[in-house]
Amino acid sequence: QDALEELEDLRTMRNTNSYELAMMWNLKAAILYGMEDVPGAINGFEQVLLQEDLPLGFEDNIRYQLAQLHFMQEDYQKTLDLLEQWLKFQLNPPVSAYNFKGQAHYALNQYQEALVPFLKALEITEAKGEKIPESLYLFILSYRIIQR
């Protein structure tokens, strides 16, 4: 709680630039998440994204974290919106991102839409010669069963 009060004092100081404010909000969001205040953490990370001139990698990281937090709150449409924004700037998204996107569609009962990222994850995994996660098979199998 003391750390949050200190951060609030920093926020109200004059001559704080947007990058410093972003760092302050990021730290506050992390503290709130550690205190299991997911809505507070979401608000903090959203405040980060409101700041100007953020490094692209930092902004991308915050957007992905927000998608994960919204998923935890079962706000699957917001999760998908954030993931779409995040994916626009990724050259080689990890398999986990496609799995994540598929799970959000699946949670919304958008089974056809879920299949596309799941199959992309399968394609990437096979191309890398890696072991395919059982969860990926289960999602694809459940799609096939639902479609019958």
pLDDT-derived band at 8 (thresholds 50, 70, 90) equals low
pLDDT-derived band at 140 (thresholds 50, 70, 90) equals confident
Q: What is the DSSP letter of 133?
A: P
Kindly give, in sequence order, each residue whose CB lies less than 8 Å from that of residue 98, ignoring residues fewer than 6 positions away. Answer: 117, 118, 120, 121, 124
pLDDT tens by residue, 35-61: 999 999 999 999 999 999 999 999 999
Q: What is the DSSP letter of 54?
A: -
Predicted model pTM: 0.85
76-111: b (≥16 Cβ within 10 Å) or e: bebbbbbbebbbeeeeebebebbbbbbbbbbbeeeb
pLDDT-derived band at 133 (thresholds 50, 70, 90) equals confident
pLDDT tens by residue, 97-115: 999 999 999 999 999 999 9
User: What pLDDT is attached to residue 148?
Assistant: 73
Block residue for tokens 């200190």: 6
pLDDT-derived band at 12 (thresholds 50, 70, 90) equals low
